Structure 1
């Protein structure tokens, strides 16, 4: 799903991305993982909107394995996001990837000739 990616569209883009992720996880019977997925996709969208400053971004939700869900954000920026481990002073921003790192089994960046995908994988088992 392609979303607006301009900074002024950030809250709307994140809301649309959260709806997409919520719907996918509910369809797959993975409702107990929705809260963590909401935080992850919100942070990925926020980073793409804040740092990419491009006209559009794309959200990808997939299941690369039965027990995993991959949440991805694709944009045309080639700037690789870096996880901040410093305190960043009193600023509240700049720690999104720390959240992504703590909530996902793994995360990373795939570079393309025209941009990148930043993704995180949640380990998910369907409710029994």
Structure 2
């Protein structure tokens, strides 16, 4: 769900024709999901009303993830979210 919301945000709110999705296991029970695109505009949480069909994506990511952020570079940005997971089987 986090990857889907970050990708949707990139597609809907930037002119980027290129994006990259990366999922990295940071530790046995921590995962980071990253979506990078070529826009330097930082994403912002919407303020959706109860009847709005859009504007909740980043709020959902922030509710699910333990940490979120955006890093800006000369070439664009990467939006990321870290979360705790169950350890892999057999750990």
* TM > 0.5 fold call: yes
RMSD: 1.5
Structure 1: tracts of 5 or more residues without a match = 1-38
Displacement of 1:90: 3.0
Partner of 1:72: 34
Higher strand share: 2
Alignment of 1:50-61 (within 5 A): 50-61=12-23
Aligned mate of 2:54, from 93, 97, 107: 93
Q: TM-score, normalised by structure 1?
A: 0.64
Shift in alpha-carbon separation, 1:55–1:87, aligned structure 2, 3 A: closer
Partner of 2:77: 116
Displacement of 1:87: 3.5
> Are the equivalent residues in 1 in contact too, given 2:48–2:54 (CA < 8 A)?
no
2-structure distance, mates of 1:58, 1:87: 27
Q: TM-score, normalised by structure 2?
A: 0.87
> What do residues 67-100 of structure 1 show as CA deviations (whole Å, max 9, x unaligned)?
211001000101111122x344632111101100
2-structure distance, mates of 1:89, 1:122: 27
The structure whose RCO (Cα within 8 Å, separation 6+) is larger is: 2
Higher helix share: 1
Number of positions where the alignment pairs a residue of Structure 1 with one of Structure 2: 89
